[in-house]
Chain A
């Protein structure tokens, strides 16, 4: 390592000597002490390569039986660790070696945790991309039978259903959830403790139970029958605790000094919450709302019992059967026909895209600072 550094510095020094002192400062080589150098990458690549060959030697030549696949990769990884440690210790000393080894292990952990997400998203994308086109979004399954091609039919009815049910559930759950959060963090009355306890417990409420509850009360008891609205109610039950808990945590982060500043100006408490606390927590509240929406957009069990499921477009969420995308996926994937299964993967991909859009919206809504797009629009509206 010392040799490498000397070589790197030499040409720069040669340049410096003839220059004047003023230029020398300018021409001094810029160093980034923490940057990876090719030698470091070489050390790791060499260790990995030698471990690979060693593993191959053991598995292919020495062992009397064949172990393949996962075991090979695991053995390769396990062998890489000591080799890499020895190589780095030789060049940089034991402290650096231990540091590098720890970095390698931790990076591996992060990579392993990330890989399922990429695998799931990647697999769904590959399976679903073939079916998704404009007609998939613009048609329903009304006229599609077992003999139709895979690119016939679509999930317009499910998409409309999902958007309407999610929209209604959000409209009900967000005001209730944010108000509850304001109660918990700002008023903190005698009901705060039990409310927080119940909200915490409700996040673990099995979604099928929420569905059953709405099914027995709204669908059966009132005689309303299956409807998108009944589904919205079931989703609301699931969404409410998520929104409440996330919003409360966000409100708690708002510094108490801002509340004091507002009160010291002569503000009534409710105005200080409305005009100072909530706007300050705006970004976090947007995230809380989106978290709640993302929590329920893929729920299947509760809507199965309340929405009913249909192949026909029904834009009215307040009466008659509706469909939604998780239900569409559930119904299609059970079919023995390959064309139906393909459509199910298309629906799954669309669901992923929907969640992605929700998260992007959350970031955009939360990211706009004061004086940015949102507040300027607000000012314009006030005039």
Chain B
């Protein structure tokens, strides 16, 4: 089955939410919903009234020019935004219906269930490849029932197993940039998150590594909800089914100008600014 066919089928599944015998299994992963999200750095408002549904089985792409707040929005989704001392926000983010900024979910649990892959590969340099994969469990104070099995499974899901299977005890710093990024994906997957946020995961990588990561995203799509920020229009078209276009006018906070099915955003956008951006006329 080709990737495109899979995408279409998944979309219909999530769109209609009906169960018939011919449909593929219900996609795993959590549903993330941003409701009226605004954000500030100090007195400067960078994001205003963002409402996006990020459903399971669907890759959601956040696109837009630099400085429009899409990375800030992504960091709000797993409470990384508040690491900046002057940051504040309004609105709420619901993970399967629970507010992640509420008291019901501890912050460490939020971050474990909503994993993040960063722009620059950041494996832990003081750990081996295997230890890097297991780092999430160690850092959340949990024990793995079967260490070797979890390492292999996570690395396989990230598409890195065949390249590193014989050097799991080598330092992670010795891998290439693309391999390091896939190791970071494996590290995020090892704690079994419901959602995986990716902040321009391929911007520091070469085309071959980029393709490997995109393949990985395709393979993971049915196991975990993926939200990806990207500057690359082709990449957004290739990997995502849902797409949100962010834009910030000068001295104004970023807003979602248009969102919807990716083919709609790229094929027949309603807002002229979206059409200009996706066709490369600015940004």
Contacts and interface: CB of A to CB of B under 8 A. Distances in A.
Contact of A266 (B109, B125, B169, B170): B109
Contacts of A257: 118, 120, 122
A375 B128 contact: yes
Contacts of B113: 266
B135 A275 contact: yes
B139 A266 contact: yes
B126 A265 contact: no
Given A265-B111, A267-B140, A282 B126 contact: yes
A125 interface: no
Interface residues of A, dominant DSSP: helix
A79 interface: no
B184 interface: yes
A263 B108 CA distance: 8
A257 B180 CA distance: 14
A371 B169 contact: yes
Contacts of A369: 171
Contacts of B110: 266
A375 B80 CA distance: 30
B272 interface: no
A261 interface: yes
Interface in B90-129: 108-113, 115-116, 118, 120, 122, 124-128
Given A260-B118, A370-B131, A371-B171, A265 B124 contact: no
Contacts of B223: none
B124 A276 contact: yes
A263 B191 CA distance: 13
B108 A266 contact: yes
A258 B126 CA distance: 11
A370 B139 contact: no
A264 B131 CA distance: 17
Nearest to B167: A371
A365 to B, nearest CB: 13
B171 A276 contact: no
A260 B187 CA distance: 13
B112 A266 contact: yes
A293 to B, nearest CB: 23
Contacts of A260: 80, 83, 118, 122
Contacts of B80: 260, 263-264
B264 interface: no
B124 A371 contact: no
Contact of A263 (B83, B169, B172): B83
Contacts of B139: 262, 265-268, 271-272, 275-276
**Most-contacted residue by chain B among A265, A276, A369, A375 (CB, 10 A):** A265
Contacts of B111: 263-267
Nearest to A259: B83
Nearest to A266: B112
Contact of A265 (B125, B136, B169, B172): B136
B115 A264 contact: yes
B33 to A, nearest CB: 20
A268 B118 CA distance: 19
A96 B112 CA distance: 62
Interface in A153-194: none
Contacts of A271: 138-141
Interface in A178-219: none
Contacts of B135: 262, 265, 275-276
B188 to A, nearest CB: 7
A264 B81 CA distance: 11
A266 B106 CA distance: 10
9 contacts: A261-B124, A262-B135, A265-B112, A267-B108, A275-B138, A276-B135, A279-B124, A370-B171, A375-B127
Of all A-B residue pairs in the complex, the 9 with the closest CB atoms, nearest first, are A266-B112, A267-B139, A279-B126, A265-B136, A264-B116, A257-B122, A266-B111, A370-B171, A280-B126
Given A257-B122, A271-B139, A375-B126, 4 more contacts: A257-B118, A264-B111, A265-B111, A375-B131
